[in-house]
């Protein structure tokens, strides 16, 4: 074992990931050099991807409401620095669901996250969510709770291209530490060198609508109806359905209320970051998810690449268990792996700085 591996052994820093999904966050933390020992999620279908791609991290299938603090403490196993991370489901705060359904049921999950913090007192916490969360009372309550528990909390709304992620996603990152004030590392990119769709997708094998690649079960794209095939042929990169001949335009878009909604049935642009990858990114009609120049929506693999998952990340053990809907949720809900790497590097730098300042040798 070399010195670096020794330094970041699970006895030194140990991470537990609540709401771990297929492991976007876990994968990035491991890549940054921090061991993740366990992930918890209510969706059993995430287990395969979580464990297959993240050696050393064990998946626990359970409802966060049933997780006992004593169980998490046992998993931390007396590590010197205990880190709890979590990315509660974003839907109750997302702009697409505002006013549509009562969020009270899902807000409960954030209270559960707080309960686990209270019961286990980790040194460092990280939470990622949609920026809309800051407008809700629960956000202020969470900040006050962290302060009361002795943490220095910090929140930033990050724009993913600033961290080398080829996607216009904005995310709220909450970091909190009991050791000292903590803040996410500064951006690594700016508008002059943002990664683009071309940088990451220009080499993926060509597909027709509805086709799948023979060697990679995830490189497959949805089929298109005849009218949508005609529509995409008339779509220009970065354009909207307004570019189509009038007979192709959907009835709802011809009406006054629908005519302003231009962000559907669009193609991505080669030389820009992609739009935010949602859980429905595989559908041409669900956003600007058309391939820049092939007449199809992007494939599941291309969505995963835009979320900065490694190109060979395995999501399903076999084709039989793969569905577009499930894959869309797994990929669209994930924390971009590269953002998780930045969070991991932030935590490492924070601990190293703390140790130096306090004259600690291990
Ligand atoms: C935003 S996703 C997390 C994504 C993950 N951190 C990643 O980077 O891939 C939220 C996850 O919370 C899980 N979830 C929802 N309700 C839950 C509950 N009551 N207990 C445990 N997990 C839950 C969902 O199954 C989903 O995987």
In this prediction, residue 103 carries a pLDDT of: 53
Question: What is the pLDDT of the chain when averaged over all its residues?
Answer: 91
Residue range 45-73: average pLDDT?
97
Locate the ligand 1 atom nearest the alpha carbon of residue 22 and give its number: 9
CA distances from 313 to 52, 160, 316, 331 (A): 9, 20, 10, 11
pLDDT of 341 over the 90 cut = yes
**Separation of alpha carbons 30 and 28, rounded Å:** 5
CA of 287 to the centre of ligand 1 (A): 23
Residue whose CA lies nearest to ligand 1 atom number 4: 334
Task: Give the residues across from 212 on adjacent strands.
Answer: 220
Q: What is the pLDDT of residue 263?
A: 72
| Closest approach atom of ligand 1 to CA 41 | 22
pLDDT interval class at 147 (50, 70, 90): very high
DSSP 284: G
CA of 31 to the centre of ligand 1 (A): 21
Q: What is the CA radius of gyration of the chain?
A: 21
**Is a pLDDT exceeding 80 seen at residue 75?**
yes
Nearest residue by C-alpha to atom 25 in ligand 1? 43
How confident is the model at residue 243, as a pLDDT?
81
Query: Which of 17, 18, 21 to mutate for ligand 1's pocket (most ligand atoms within 8 Å of CB)?
Result: 21
Residue 315 CB less than 6 A away from ligand 1: no
For the chain, domains (ranges, CATH) are 3-192+336-352 (3.40.50.150), 197-332 (3.90.120.10)
More confident residue, 349 or 91: 349
Which residue among 27, 46, 87, 90 is the active-site one?
90
Alpha carbons within 13 A on the beta-carbon side of 189: 20
Q: Would the CB of 57 count as within 6 Å of ligand 1?
A: no
Q: How many residues does the chain have?
A: 362
C-alpha 331 to ligand 1 mean position (Å): 12
**Does residue 9 surpass a pLDDT of 50?**
yes
At residue 238, the pLDDT reads: 84
**Which residue has the least CA distance to atom 18 on ligand 1?**
63
Q: How far is the CA of 64 from the centre of ligand 1 (A)?
A: 9
pLDDT in tens, 234-281: 898 887 777 877 777 776 766 655 555 667 788 999 999 999 999 999
Mean pLDDT score, 110-134: 95
**Range from 31-40, 314-323, 353-362 carrying the lowest mean pLDDT:** 353-362
Q: How far apart are CA 309 and CA 335, in angstroms?
A: 10
Residue 190 C-alpha to ligand 1 middle, in angstroms?
A: 31
- Ligand 1: which residue has its CA nearest to atom 19? 63
- Check whether 1 has a pLDDT greater than 50: no
Does residue 130 have its Cβ closer than 6 Å to ligand 1?
no
What is the three-state SS of 169-211?
CEEEEEEEECCCCCCCCCCCCCCCCCCCHHHHHCCCCCCCCCC
**Lookup: tokens for 194:** 């943002």
Task: Note the pTM of the prediction, 2 decimals.
Answer: 0.93
- Residue the block writes with tokens 């620095």: 81
Q: What confidence score (pLDDT) does residue 175 get?
A: 98
**pLDDT number for residue 260:** 53
90 CA closest ligand 1 atom index: 1
Contact status, residue 197 vs residue 292, Cβ threshold 8 Å: yes
Q: Which residue has the higher pLDDT, 355 or 261?
A: 355
Is residue 334's pLDDT more than 90? yes
Q: Is 29 in the pocket of ligand 1 (CB under 6 A)?
A: no
pLDDT in tens, 76-100: 998 999 999 999 987 655 555 544 4
Using the predicted structure, report yes or no on whether residue 312 has a pLDDT greater than 60: yes
90 is catalytic: yes
Distance of CA 152 from the midpoint of ligand 1 (Å): 25
Contacts of 97 (CB under 8 A, 6+ apart): 91, 103
pLDDT of residue 161: 98
Give nearest CA residue, ligand 1 atom 23.
Answer: 42
Query: What does the pLDDT read at residue 4?
Result: 45
Picking from 255, 247, 299, 261, the residue whose alpha carbon sits closest to that of residue 277 is 299
Q: From the CB of 328, is ligand 1 less than 6 Å away?
A: no
Residue 66, ligand 1, Cβ within 6 A: no
Structure tokens at 236: 């220009």
Q: Residue 5's pLDDT band (boundaries 50, 70, 90)?
A: very low
Contact status, residue 84 vs residue 64, Cβ threshold 8 Å:
no
Q: Are 81 and 12 in contact (CB under 8 A)?
A: yes
Cβ–ligand 1 distance for 25 under 6 Å, the answer: yes
330 lines ligand 1 (CB under 6 A): no
Q: pLDDT tens, 165-220?
A: 999 999 999 999 999 999 999 999 999 999 999 999 999 999 999 999 999 999 99
Minimum CA distance residue for ligand 1 atom 10: 89
């Amino acid at each position: 074992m070399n010195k670096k591996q020794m330094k970041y052994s699970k006895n030194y820093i140990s991470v537990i990931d609540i709401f771990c999904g297929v492991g976007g966050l876990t994968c990035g933390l491991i890549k940054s050099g921090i061991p993740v020992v366990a992930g918890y999620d209510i969706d059993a279908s995430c287990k395969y991807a979580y464990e297959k791609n993240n050696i050393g991290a064990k998946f626990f299938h359970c409802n966060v409401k049933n997780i006992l603090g004593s169980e998490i403490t046992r998993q931390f196993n007396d590590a010197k620095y205990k880190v709890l991370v979590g990315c509660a489901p974003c839907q109750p705060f997302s702009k697409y669901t505002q006013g549509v359904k009562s969020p009270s049921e899902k807000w409960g999950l954030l209270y559960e996250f707080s309960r686990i913090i209270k019961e286990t007192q980790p040194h460092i916490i990280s939470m990622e969510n949609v920026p809309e969360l800051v407008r809700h009372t629960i956000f202020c309550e969470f900040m006050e709770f962290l302060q009361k528990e002795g943490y220095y909390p910090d929140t930033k709304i990050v724009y993913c291209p600033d961290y080398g992620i080829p996607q216009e996603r904005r995310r709220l990152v909450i970091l909190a530490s009991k050791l000292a004030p903590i803040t996410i590392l500064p951006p690594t990119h700016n508008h002059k060198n943002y990664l683009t769709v071309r940088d990451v997708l220009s080499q993926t094998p060509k597909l027709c609508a509805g086709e799948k690649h023979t060697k990679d079960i995830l490189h497959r794209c949805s089929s298109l109806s005849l009218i949508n095939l005609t529509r995409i042929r008339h779509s220009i990169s970065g354009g909207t359905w307004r570019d189509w001949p009038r007979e192709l335009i959907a009835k709802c878009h011809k009406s006054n209320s629908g005519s302003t909604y231009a962000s559907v049935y669009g193609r991505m642009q080669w030389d820009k970051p992609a739009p935010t990858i949602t859980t429905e990114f595989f559908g041409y009609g669900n956003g600007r998810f058309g391939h820049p120049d092939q007449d199809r929506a992007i494939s599941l693999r291309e969505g995963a690449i835009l979320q900065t998952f490694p190109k060979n990340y395995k999501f399903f053990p076999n084709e039989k268990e793969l569905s577009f809907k499930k894959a869309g949720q797994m990929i669209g809900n994930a924390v971009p792996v590269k953002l998780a790497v930045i969070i991991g590097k932030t935590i490492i730098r924070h601990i190293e700085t703390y140790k130096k300042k306090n004259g600690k040798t291990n």
